[in-house]
Amino acid sequence: MQVMMNLVLLVQLVSAMAMIGLVLVQHGKGADMGASFGGGASGSLFGATGSANFLSRSTAVAATVFFVCTLALAYFGNIRASSHNESSVLERAAAAASAPAASAPAAAQIPTAAPVVPVAASAAASK
């Protein structure tokens, strides 16, 4: 199971890096905006979209692989947590916090009275 999770994680990282690279290499839609105001090189304000080229299709494939890997990692993480018969992180923290408090005596933790200061000593200290 651990090998499968590592493999899915590796595929996810490669697809993320591919997506970043493909997005950075692509030509933006707003790049011809200056030409549309005076040059006439593009047909509209942001240029004609046309059909999808190789880069945009590759980006879509990398995004789909990334999304599927993310779902697979979430599924494997949920299976691993349920196979150990564990509860959530918050429930385990609450159980760990209540265990030491139950074993220690309650009377030793709470002071019963404040220390008494003699009146003569406090009056002499203020003079």
Q: Give tens-digit pLDDT for 16-36.
A: 999 999 999 988 776 666 555
Mean pLDDT of the chain: 75
Q: How far is CA 77 from CA 4, 5, 9, 33, in A?
A: 11, 9, 12, 46
pLDDT tens digits along 49-58: 556 789 999 9
How far is it, in rounded angstroms, from Cα 29 to Cα 45? 9
Cα dihedral sign for 17, 20, 24, 29? positive
**Residue matched to tokens 């003569």:** 120
Confidence of residue 91 (pLDDT cuts 50, 70, 90): confident
How far is it, in rounded angstroms, from Cα 72 to Cα 26? 29
* The model's pTM: 0.54
Average pLDDT over residues 33-43: 55
Could you tell me the two tokens for 74?
């979430």
Query: DSSP assignment, residue 86?
Result: -
Q: How far is CA 112 from the centre of its chain?
A: 47
Could you tell me the two tokens for 15?
């697809």
